């Protein structure tokens, strides 16, 4: 099942033979496999026949940046090309326990304290298959309005997902974004795509993060997305807040932050997400 170039690259890189490969599910973009090597090592590979240019390079950069925060376990990148990415295999442990979720909450707060001078990132990347602009910006409202909501609005218009009423409400929200969001919240390293499918428990029982869409921004954007589709326990939120309390008004701002992901899902998967987008827009406009 492994593409021949990937198989050859692995065997050359590790100076060993592949003894087994088993498909790994869970994603809807790439194919992936756990690969056993004759030297006893187990690795993980993901590949795509025709990915957006730079997608795997951007993911590798994101994983390496998260590793620099020394907060939560992430896969180590061995190598990548335009068509594949090879990393450590973290294993699959049991369902998360309270202790694991407490560690995840503490670790995410620690990751969010890893900072930078401006919002954004020195390079663009992807959220799913959607290009994500990360132009470094001094003002968070400007960044989120332009490079998150504005970018998704442009894409929705091109793809026919922006009827007149939706467009008008989105324009009004972007124009009034400063009424709801802080201009200069702490600059935090965000995972960027933190839904339940992108956290796991390793074979050693540690919490880990995968498939990032990293950038520096308001930490509340990460936390908001954990709530959108669920999958995170009360213990996780308790541990995060104990490590770094949230500012007043989070429960108002979180829906605006999640609007970015709802618009992205609208653009990726169609009008089934339109009702949720419209509900948020009506709430704030």
87-141 per-position pLDDT tens digit: 999 988 888 999 999 999 999 999 999 999 999 999 999 999 999 999 999 999 9
Residue 27 scores a pLDDT above 80: no
Residue 59 scores a pLDDT above 70: yes
Residue 78 scores a pLDDT above 90: yes
Whole-number mean pLDDT of the chain?
Answer: 96
The pLDDT value recorded for residue 272 is: 97
- Kindly calculate the radius of gyration of the chain based on its CA atoms and give it in whole angstroms: 19
For the record, the structure tokens of 267 come out as 């653009």
- Determine the average pLDDT of the residues in 248-257: 97
The pLDDT value recorded for residue 236 is: 98
DSSP string, 189-258: EE-S--SGGGEEE-TTS-EEE-S---EEE-HHHHHHHHHHS----HHHHHHHHHHSPPPTTHHHHHHHHH
Q: Are 170 and 149 in contact (CB under 8 A)?
A: yes
Residue 26 scores a pLDDT above 70: no
Q: Is 46 helix (H, G, I), strand (E, B) or coil?
A: strand
Q: Are 249 and 182 in contact (CB under 8 A)?
A: no
The pLDDT value recorded for residue 11 is: 97
The pLDDT value recorded for residue 1 is: 81
CA distance 113 to 283: 31
Active site residues: 193
CA distance 54 to 82: 6
Q: Looking at domain 98-284, which CATH architecture does it have?
A: Alpha-Beta Complex (3.90)
Query: Quick one: how many helices (H) and strands (E) in the chain?
Result: 10, 11
Q: Residue ranges per domain, the chain?
A: 4-88, 98-284
For the record, the structure tokens of 176 come out as 């009034």
Is the overall model pTM greater than 0.85, yes or no? yes
Residue 71 scores a pLDDT above 80: yes
User: What pLDDT digit, counting tens, does each position of 160-191 carry?
Assistant: 999 999 999 999 999 999 999 999 999 999 99
User: What pLDDT digit, counting tens, does each position of 198-252 carry?
Assistant: 999 999 999 999 999 999 999 999 999 999 999 999 999 999 999 999 999 999 9
The pLDDT value recorded for residue 146 is: 98
Four-way CATH pick for 4-88: 3.30.200.20, 3.40.50.2300, 3.30.70.260, 3.30.420.40? 3.30.200.20
Q: Which backbone phi and psi does 215 adopt, to 5 degrees?
A: -170, 170
- How far CA 153 is from CA of 138, 199, 222, in Å, comes to 22, 28, 21
Residue 28 scores a pLDDT above 80: no
CA distance 233 to 238: 9
The pLDDT value recorded for residue 92 is: 84
The pLDDT value recorded for residue 69 is: 98
DSSP conformational letter for 16: S
């Amino acid at each position: 099942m492994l593409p021949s170039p990937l198989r050859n690259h692995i065997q050359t890189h590790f100076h060993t033979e592949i003894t087994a490969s088993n498909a790994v599910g869970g994603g809807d973009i790439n194919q992936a496999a756990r690969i056993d090597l004759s030297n006893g090592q187990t690795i993980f590979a993901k590949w795509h026949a025709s990915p957006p240019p730079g997608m795997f390079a951007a993911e590798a950069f994101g994983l390496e940046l998260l590793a620099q925060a020394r907060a939560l376990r992430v896969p180590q990148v061995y190598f990548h090309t335009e068509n594949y990415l090879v990393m450590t295999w973290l294993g699959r442990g049991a369902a998360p326990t309270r202790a694991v979720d407490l560690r995840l909450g503490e670790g995410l707060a620690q990751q969010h304290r890893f900072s930078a001078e401006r919002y954004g990132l020195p390079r663009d990347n992807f959220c799913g298959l959607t290009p994500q602009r990360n132009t470094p910006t001094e003002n968070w409202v400007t960044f989120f309005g332009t490079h998150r909501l504005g970018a998704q609005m442009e894409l929705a218009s091109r793809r026919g997902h922006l009827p007149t009423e939706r467009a008008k409400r989105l324009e009004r929200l972007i124009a009034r974004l400063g009424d709801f969001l802080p201009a200069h919240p702490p600059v935090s390293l965000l995972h960027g795509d933190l839904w339940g499918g992108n956290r796991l428990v390793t074979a050693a029982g540690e919490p880990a993060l995968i498939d990032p869409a990293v950038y520096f921004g308001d930490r509340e954007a990460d936390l908001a997305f954990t709530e959108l589709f669920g999958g995170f326990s009360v213990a996780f939120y308790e541990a995060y807040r104990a490590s770094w309390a949230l500012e007043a008004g989070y429960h108002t701002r979180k829906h605006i932050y999640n609007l970015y992901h709802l618009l992205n899902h609208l653009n990726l998967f169609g009008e089934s997400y339109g009702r949720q987008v419209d509900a948020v827009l009506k709430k704030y406009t």
